[in-house]
Amino acid sequence: MFTWLPKFELYLGDRYMGCIRKKWTWFKPQYTIDCSGWQVQGSFLEWDYSIVDARGALVAKIGKEIWNWTDTYVLNVADPQNALLVLMFTLAVDAEKCSRN
């Protein structure tokens, strides 16, 4: 299907986990992750992201290290049970950024 903004569906094996959708914004990228109710706010340069849950509690902070030959991200996840979903989000955002170039 055609979508105006990037959308990624997340699967764990055959099980559908949810969808990441990019919101339309002027300067800072924002995403929603519908499987968890998380909101994502990115920095202007799209190197750092904060993920919060519906209550506003911090789920994870994601930061891109700039002094590497390849794209390298540091993931700080509050609850280890959310680590896989945070990693899926990070890979989806990186893929979206690379597809623009």
Report pLDDT digits (tens) over 51-74: 999 899 999 999 988 888 888 899
Supply the pLDDT for residue 60: 96
Q: Is the pTM higher than 0.85?
A: no
The C-alpha atoms of residue 101 and residue 94 are separated, in whole angstroms, by 11
Contact 1, 85 (CB under 8 A): no
pLDDT band for position 41 (cuts 50, 70, 90): confident
Please, which residues bridge with residue 41 across strands? 30, 50
Supply the pLDDT for residue 2: 47
The yes-or-no verdict on residue 19 having pLDDT over 90 is no
Core vs surface per residue 26-54: b (16+ CB within 10 A) or e? eeebebbbeebebbbebeeeeeebbbebe
CA 8: distance to chain centroid?
10
Supply the pLDDT for residue 55: 92
Supply the pLDDT for residue 62: 94
Please, which residues bridge with residue 76 across strands? 61
